[in-house]
Amino acid sequence: MTDRSEGPELYFRCHVFCCTNVRPEGHSKGSCSERGSVRLRNYMKARAKEFGLQGVRINSSGCLDRCEHGPTMVIYPDGVWYHYETREDVDEILETHVIQGRRVERLLLRSGG
């Protein structure tokens, strides 16, 4: 475990990475983008802007290597992972995790899972 009390001041207090990886059609693993992650990440970014959230960034990323749970996102520095499928999922993650600082239990990916 990293003890953040000895870490640097955070540039973003909440840094979200949504996998938007693309794989060739028919690939056995599929991909997060194939499951709607680009659209949902764009929605999340727009909603965060609407909320006027400071110190929050909603990034796209390459493959996060948990494709079987896709679409996936990870939120740092917390190191919390979510699966999401709908705009309602994204809203809940924004409102509950990003704004209120609590976990969205129903969407959590468990470590090693």
Binding positions for a copy of itself, rule: CB under 8 A: 1-5, 7-11, 15, 17, 20, 57, 59-66, 74, 76-81, 109-112
The residue (of 74 and 90) whose beta carbon lies closer to a copy of itself is: 74
CB 74 within 8 A of CB 107: no
Min dist. Cβ of residue 53 to a copy of itself (A): 14
Min dist. Cβ of residue 51 to a copy of itself (A): 17
Residues counted in the chain: 113
Determine if the peptide bond prior to 71 is cis (ω within 30°). Answer: yes
Q: How far apart are CA 80 and CA 73, in angstroms?
A: 8
Min dist. Cβ of residue 45 to a copy of itself (A): 10
